[in-house]
């Protein structure tokens, strides 16, 4: 049977209904899906080695027999390290695992079983070992010839060899290849190979280019990676173009209230704060809707810049709203705004989920009468009854906590209001170009005067008692502290300390110290009560999960102790660290690692001792963990790239971005004949809204 791209997978020779159903369960339903299931790596069988010839840092493929499987505990933990000893005719070597890939993994490897080992050789305490190698059975479907073999992500019932066999089978039957959708001029200019050739060579690589394939730098890889980035960047460019074409509210250039504010501030604004404000001022006076992201490290003074923008709206006769992700943060912004803006005549309102009916009615009346100039709140702001008289500026705090839909609902509460988006999560330029590609970006990269650096120390579990003594010494001097855990309650799967259990232990250990417990499973009213007590110093030590990561401001807190710090992302550790060092007293962040963490993990956490620069931390974190985990898969807003990698392929991303913006600059409505396929693809991928900016 001749295959087309949309032919169901079961009609590929050798698949059939049963195997087709298995492929479908893993999202591979058509021939197109099968061909776009790209190899995750390539195994150079020409470089197959024996054990005796191995050297440190070699990446090798070898055949060996299992001698035995053993395990032992990691320090005092119940977690285990597994060793699989393998040998060939020349010698033997350990395959070491610090975690179990999946349940039943080690039971597969019986003594005498023949396996293929693919991995990097590590020198561990003077002995060569494999750490977490790809260890699999010699598959009956496996082609044992010396060649460059594509390796696919394996799932239950679908081995890499089986997937490869089905793809090669589809090549024999296929009568249709993907049509070229990129303009030929762009293909020539970027020196890209044809999409059909790229797709074929990805699965049938040329052995002489083994190094390029393994580094994802072959011509085939570059073609597919460029195209994945290009479609995203064209969409973002069209959105940005649409925003620039809209008419926006024009704010007054007179800034009487702002001049008064600058005079009464007890400190001098940093150059970075002023630079960001001037970016905002220019946008607000331009007549085009502002869509600006202000990135600033923890404590850099973003909130004050947003208040200055609200003051400009007030001077221009417009209302402002600020949406925060939590009630705690909304209340904190409200109190600060009262202190800073109310003396200048700005009337401020607060709206959260716990606002009573009477308060809501009063807010509704005052908003519509224009008697509230600045409304601060949570998700409650997007409720239908919230109607403004003249909304001119929308401020969103911690953008990644909100979806595009919520931004749209706020936009509809005014006539093309300006948008100012703030984030204390430093986002590397790589990610900002994709996640926030439709926004203009300002960066606050200076700290206000008087902020004392936080001393960071990474220690092992064995020094925990000393760390607790150090913390209690500061509590005795009248300071406060946080102790943060990665879990709320004990998990059967992972042996980690948890907040509820350790809270009980600490209370018994230090009966005279006032402890509080805070975690995400508590009701909002309970969280607020605990935070109020901590803020009022009725609690000395707050035992918590990561719910205190963003926005909590208690200047008297000087100790941040993070248990099992190896379980957190670096950007998350940096956010937690930023909860201290907010007052006049010297502050400390103690990161405690569990027993028997790998050298790689140790180096990752110890990076936190080297810098307090959130952008450096974010770049390093992104490089290690990738974008999905960095942003949090649900909040990331990242497209499902099948091959492109934001860190590894940054140069290709820049080229794709430049190409997309250049095409729209030359042909803003994509009306030229050579750009019709681009217009059609945008419409198909994103619907009519994708073309809002280009007509």
* pLDDT tens for each residue of 235-262: 888 877 766 667 778 898 888 888 888 8
Least confident of 295-309, 381-395, 539-553: 539-553
pLDDT tier for residue 170 given thresholds of 50, 70 and 90: very high
Our CA angle for 534, 508, 484, nearest 5°, is: 45
Pairing status of strand 114-124 against strand 59-73: antiparallel
Specify the residue for token string 């080695």: 49
Domains of the chain in sequence order? 1-40+159-176 (1.10.150), 43-151 (2.40.50.140), 178-245+649-695 (no CATH), 256-444 (3.40.50.300), 455-611 (3.40.50.300)
Q: Residue 497, Cβ neighbours under 10 Å: how many?
A: 18
Task: Please give the pLDDT value at position 582.
Answer: 80
Q: Give dist(CA 227, CA 165) in Å, integer.
A: 26
- Closest alpha carbon to 40 in 242, 225, 213: 213
Evaluate the CA torsion angle 188, 191, 197, 199 in order and state its sign: negative
Cβ pair 45, 146 in contact under 8 A: yes
pLDDT above 90 for 53: no
**What pLDDT is stored for residue 450 in this prediction?**
64
Cα–Cα dist 210/142, whole Å: 19
pLDDT at 146: 62
Parallel/antiparallel/unpaired status of strands 134-137 and 114-124: antiparallel
How far, in Å, CA of 326 to CA of 547, rounded? 10
Average pLDDT over residues 101-125: 84
Would you say 375 and 546 are in contact if contact means Cβ atoms under 8 Å apart? no
Averaged pLDDT, 353-358: 84
Confidence check: pLDDT of 495 > 60: no
Highest mean predicted confidence (pLDDT) among 19-23, 131-135, 279-283, 626-630: 279-283
- Predicted pLDDT of residue 521: 80
Average pLDDT over residues 4-33: 90
pLDDT band at 151 (very low <50, low <70, confident <90, very high): confident
Instruction: Classify burial at 494, counting beta carbons within 10 Å of its beta carbon; exposed 0-12, middle 13-18, buried 19 or more.
Output: middle
Q: Can you tell me the distance from the alpha carbon of 251 to that of 98, in angstroms, rounded to the nearest whole number?
A: 59
Q: What is the DSSP string of 229-272?
A: HHHHHHHHHHHHHHHHHS--PPPPS--HHHHHHHHH-SSPPPHH
Judged by DSSP in three states, 286 sits in coil
CA distances from 74 to 371, 592, 594, 598, 679 (A): 63, 16, 9, 11, 57
User: 344-358 in b/e burial notation, b at 16+ Cβ within 10 A?
Assistant: eebebbbbbeebeee
| Distance between CA atoms of residues 349 and 377, nearest Å | 8
Q: Measured between alpha carbons, how far is 575 from 467 in angstroms, rounded to an integer?
A: 21
Handedness of CA 642, 646, 647, 653 (dihedral sign): positive
Residue 630 has pLDDT above 70, yes or no: no
Over residues 379-403, the mean pLDDT reads 82
d(CA 466, CA 476): 15
Output the average pLDDT for the chain: 84
- Distance CA(54)–CA(94), nearest Å, equals 12
Dihedral over alpha carbons 470, 476, 481, 485 (to 10 degrees): 60
Rounded to two decimals, the pTM is 0.66
How long a stretch of residues is the chain?
Answer: 695
Q: What does the DSSP 8-state code read for residue 567? A: G
Residue 218: per-residue pLDDT: 95
Q: What is the pLDDT averaged over residues 81-100?
A: 90
The first and second tokens of residue 158, run together, are 């679908």
């Amino acid at each position: 049977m001749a295959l087309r791209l949309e032919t169901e997978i079961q009609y590929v020779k050798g698949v059939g209904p049963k195997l087709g159903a298995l492929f479908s369960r893993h999202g591979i339903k058509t021939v197109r899906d099968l061909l776009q299931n790209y190899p995750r790596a390539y195994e150079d069988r020409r470089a197959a080695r024996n054990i005796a010839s191995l050297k440190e840092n070699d990446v090798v493929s070898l055949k060996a027999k299992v001698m035995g499987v053993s395990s032992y505990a990691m320090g005092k933990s119940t977690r285990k390290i597994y060793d699989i000893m393998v040998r060939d005719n020349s010698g033997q070597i350990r395959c070491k695992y610090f975690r179990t890939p999946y349940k039943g993994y080690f039971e597969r490897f019986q003594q005498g079983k023949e396996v293929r080992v693919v991995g990097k050789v590590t020198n561990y305490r003077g002995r060569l070992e494999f750490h977490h190698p790809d260890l699999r059975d010699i598959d009956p479907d496996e082609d044992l010839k010396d060649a460059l073999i594509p390796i696919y992500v394996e799932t239950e019932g679908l081995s890499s060899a089986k997937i490869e066999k089905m793809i090669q089978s589809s090549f024999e039957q296929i009568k249709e290849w993907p049509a070229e959708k990129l303009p030929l001029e762009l293909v020539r200019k970027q020196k890209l190979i044809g999409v059909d050739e790229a797709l074929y060579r990805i699965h049938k690589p040329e052995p002489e280019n083994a190094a390029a394939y393994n580094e994802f730098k072959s011509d085939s890889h570059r073609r597919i990676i460029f195209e994945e980035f290009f479609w995203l960047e064209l969409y973002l460019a069209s959105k940005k173009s649409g925003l620039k074409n809209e008419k926006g509210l024009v704010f007054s250039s007179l800034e009487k209230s702002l001049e008064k504010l600058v005079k009464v501030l007890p400190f001098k604004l940093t150059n970075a704060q002023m630079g960001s404000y001037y970016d905002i001022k220019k946008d607000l006076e331009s007549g085009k809707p502002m869509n600006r992201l202000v990135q600033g490290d923890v404590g850099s003074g973003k909130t004050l810049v947003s208040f200055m923008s609200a003051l400009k709206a007030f001077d221009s006769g417009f209302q402002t709203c600020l949406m925060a992700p939590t009630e705690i943060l909304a209340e904190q912004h409200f109190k600060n705004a009262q202190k800073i803006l109310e003396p200048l005549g700005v009337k401020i309102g607060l709206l959260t989920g716990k606002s009573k009916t009477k308060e809501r009615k009063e807010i509704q009346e005052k908003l519509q009468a224009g008697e509230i100039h600045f409304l601060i709140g949570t998700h409650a702001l997007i409720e239908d009854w919230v109607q403004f008289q003249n909304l001119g500026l929308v401020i969103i705090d911690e953008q990644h906590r909100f979806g595009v839909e919520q931004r749209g609902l706020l936009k509809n509460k005014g006539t093309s209001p300006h948008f100012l988006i703030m984030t204390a999560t430093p986002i590397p330029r790589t990610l900002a170009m994709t996640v926030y590609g439709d926004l203009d970006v300002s960066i606050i990269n200076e700290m206000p005067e008087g902020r004392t650096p936080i001393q960071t120390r990474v220690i092992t579990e064995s020094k925990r008692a000393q760390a607790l003594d150090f913390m209690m010494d500061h509590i005795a001097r009248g300071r406060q502290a946080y102790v943060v855990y990665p879990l709320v309650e004990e998990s059967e799967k992972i042996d980690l300390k948890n907040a509820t259990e350790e809270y009980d232990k600490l209370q018994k250990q230090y009966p005279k110290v006032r402890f509080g417990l805070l975690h995400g499973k508590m009701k909002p009213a309970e969280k607020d009560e605990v935070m109020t007590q901590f803020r009022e110093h009725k609690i000395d030590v707050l035992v918590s999960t990561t719910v205190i990561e963003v926005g909590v401001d208690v200047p008297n807190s000087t100790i941040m102790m993070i248990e099992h710090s190896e379980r957190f992302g670096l950007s998350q550790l940096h956010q937690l660290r930023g909860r201290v060092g907010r007052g006049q007293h010297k502050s400390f962040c103690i990161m405690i690692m569990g027993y028997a963490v790998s050298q790689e993990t140790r180096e990752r956490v110890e990076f936190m001792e080297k810098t307090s620069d959130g952008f450096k931390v974010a770049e390093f974190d992104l490089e290690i963990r990738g974008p999905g985990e960095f942003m949090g898969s649900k909040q990331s807003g990242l497209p499902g790239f099948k091959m492109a990698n934001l860190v590894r392929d940054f140069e290709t991303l820049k080229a794709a971005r430049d190409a997309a913006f250049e095409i729209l600059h030359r042909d803003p409505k994509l009306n030229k004949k050579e750009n019709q396929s681009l217009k059609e693809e945008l419409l198909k991928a994103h619907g009519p809204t994708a073309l809002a900016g280009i007509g």
